[in-house]
Amino acid sequence: MDLISIDDLSAEEIENLLALSDGFLEIASRPIKKVPTLRGRTQINMFFEASTRTQSSFELAGKRLSADVINIKGSSSSVSKGESLKDTILTLESYRPDIIVMRHPQVGAARMATRYTNASVINAGDGAGEHPTQCLLDIYSLRRTVGELRGLKVAIVGDVLRSRVARSNIFGFRKMGMDVRLVGPPTLMPPGIEAWDVPVHYDLEALEDVDVVYLLRMQMERAKGVVPPVPSLREYSRVWGLSPYDLRPEQWVMHPGPINRGVELTADLADHGRSLILQQVESGLALRMAILYHVLVPSAQEEDELAFSSRGE
């Protein structure tokens, strides 16, 4: 199966993935952090956009599951010589990969890739489209931290306009029964936001009664050639940048990273005891191991039998 949108998964499938992730999290605490689960399988990571967390965690996840993992970077691939995405995928298809993990600046690129390969395609971010594995790791982080997700109130704050994370998280969080609202300046909300059927607030007062404040990065690199939606980062941070003083002590803070200290949050909020930012990264590795496994072995019963075995086949 492919994972292109968070809507490809039901709430029940997400619950299964969270349970699988617990098992894979345990593997990270072993002295030898490797199981033979995906031995003989081939995973190709294709990143046509910058990435630290997503790329490194997919690579490590594949390696810890014993898959053969190769990495293709946009800037060093033949795409920089003019090869089309279609031809790149067709070329790599000759190696008969089992999984292609793809990040691309264009919305719909991962879905398009599924046309030219028999591998399971995992969308690791397509422009301002979706980022389903970020959503899943955020759900997993919250499950590890607060347990019950149903009824949890979450505010997604900031640059919703250019955020694929917001697009996946709004729908994924709601699927798990959470109460989601968007908070930020009107210029950072996408046109047609009404159709998403999610409450939008233009004031930080909307953070008062939430359990989780989910901050988004200001994606200035996507503003090239267009009128920027905010006058300057300094002005944005003065009005919308959060510090520990803006939150109640029992509220949790999340951010997909990379964080911009001093823009959407102060340095001391990033390092605060209620910040889940680094725990999200840890959750991401276990969750991505679960995803790699799930897209190849979709039957739950098989999953339980095979997932954590340290035996060879």
Residues tagged active-site: 53-54, 81, 103, 131
The tokens for 132 are 């389903």
Strands (E), 127-211: 153-157, 179-183, 200-201
97 belongs to the binding site for ligand NCD (CB under 6 A): no
131 belongs to the binding site for ligand NCD (CB under 6 A): yes
Q: Please identify, using beta-carbon distances, which residue of 259 and 300 lies nearer to ligand NCD.
A: 259
3-state SS, residue 294: helix
Omega of the bond prior to 258 within 30 degrees of 0, cis?
yes
How far is 3 from 288, CA to CA, in rounded Å?
A: 12
| Residues in region 35-54 near ligand NCD by CB under 6 A | 53-54
When binding is defined by CB under 6 A, the residue of 41, 64, 144, 217 that contacts ligand NCD is 217
125 belongs to the binding site for ligand NCD (CB under 6 A): yes
Residue found by looking up tokens 């939430």 in the block:
210
When binding is defined by CB under 6 A, the residue of 64, 104, 164, 294 that contacts ligand NCD is 164
165 belongs to the binding site for ligand NCD (CB under 6 A): yes
134 belongs to the binding site for ligand NCD (CB under 6 A): yes
Q: DSSP assignment of 50-106, as one string? A: --SHHHHHHHHHHHHTT-EEEEEEGGGSGGGGT--HHHHHHHHHTT--SEEEEEESS
Which are the contacts of 49, defined by CB distance < 8 A and separation ≥ 6? 74, 103, 104, 105, 125
Q: Please identify, using beta-carbon distances, which residue of 52 and 310 lies nearer to ligand NCD.
A: 52
256 belongs to the binding site for ligand NCD (CB under 6 A): yes
Element (H, E) at 211: none
Q: Please identify, using beta-carbon distances, which residue of 157 and 307 lies nearer to ligand NCD.
A: 157
| One-letter identity of residue 196 | W
Instruction: For the CB of residue 208, give the shortest distance to ligand NCD in the complex, in Å.
Output: 25
Q: Please identify, using beta-carbon distances, which residue of 53 and 73 lies nearer to ligand NCD.
A: 53
Please report, as ranges, the residues that interact with ligand NCD according to CB under 6 A. 53-54, 125, 131, 134, 164-165, 217, 219, 256-257
